[in-house]
Amino acid sequence: MTLTEENYLKAIFHLSTEKQDVSVLDLANSLEIKMPTVNSMVKKLAAKGLLIYEKYRPLSLTESGRLEAGVIIRKHRLVEMFLVEKMGFQWDEVHEIAEQIEHIDSSVFFDRINELLNHPKFDPHGSPIPDPEGRIASTEYLKLNDGQIGKEYIFTSVAISQSSFLKQINKHGLRLGDKLKIIEILSFDKSIVVSINGQSTENLSGMVAGNILVSE
């Protein structure tokens, strides 16, 4: 597989977890590539048996396509974990580097990272690391802004990797594993007031809360 094909598969995979129907336009927007280019690339991926393509129908990965995507996501997340745990990077610095290193073709390299990290199950953003075959554990995370007032949740993962978002999470004093209790949802802008580990309280914008993933 080429780097380009790997990026298409990964993008389709990620879009599928956000919305059940993935369109050519979604893919084009997510990859910042024009629709006709995407249209011809998905035909090519379909010819390789990695996705199902029928004119004017939503795209979907085949089992094989999902596993191929999973293998790349595994490499990405292992690298992110290595950068944080073994090389001293912050969680907001690693995504861009991992976007490149995930395409390195060397099983010994990623196997060694996996061993040095003691076979981690999650990356620094709380996302699950697929197994070596590309199978990914399904997670039952809830967006914080879908939570109920008065209930306490555990901050388990983040939905996006944008550095500016992760830095803002830092600013709010939030860390994975924190207990977040929803105190109040402000009617004016839908921002959410949470207590953090029963100690401080913070006001999180809807945009921030929508990318905070929690479990019960």
Partner DNA sequence: CTTTTTTGTTAGATAAATCTAACAAATTAA
Partner DNA sequence: TTAATTTGTTAGATTTATCTAACAAAAAAG
Q: Which residues sit at the interface with DNA, rule CB under 7 A?
A: 2-5, 23-26, 32-37, 39-42, 44, 53, 55-56, 58
Nearer to DNA, 58 or 206 (CB): 58
Q: Using CA atoms, how far apart are residues 180 and 212, in angstroms rounded to an integer? A: 10
SS3 content of the chain, % helix, strand, coil (to 5): 45, 20, 40
Q: Decide which of its own copies, Mn ion, DNA, none touches 4; Cβ closer than 5 to 8 Å per partner kind.
A: DNA
First vs last C-alpha separation in the chain: 39
- Segment interacting with Mn ion (CB under 5 A) among 2-10, 60-68, 103-111, 126-134: 126-134
Query: CB burial class (10 A; 0-12, 13-18, 19+) of residue 197?
Result: middle
Q: Decide which of its own copies, DNA, Mn ion, none touches 40; Cβ closer than 5 to 8 Å per partner kind.
A: DNA
Q: Are 61 and 11 in contact (CB under 8 A)?
A: no
Q: Decide which of its own copies, Mn ion, DNA, none touches 125; Cβ closer than 5 to 8 Å per partner kind.
A: Mn ion
Q: Decide which of DNA, Mn ion, its own copies, none touches 112; Cβ closer than 5 to 8 Å per partner kind.
A: its own copies
Helix (H) or strand (E) run with residue 163 in it: helix 163-171
Which residues bind to its own copies, rule: CB under 8 A? 86-89, 93, 96-97, 100-101, 104-106, 108-109, 112-113, 116
Shortest separation between residue 115's beta carbon and its own copies, angstroms: 9
Q: What would the two tokens of residue 178 be?
A: 């924190």
Q: Using CA atoms, how far apart are residues 12 and 31, in angstroms rounded to an integer? A: 10
**Interface residue list for Mn ion (CB under 5 A):** 80, 95, 123, 125, 127, 161
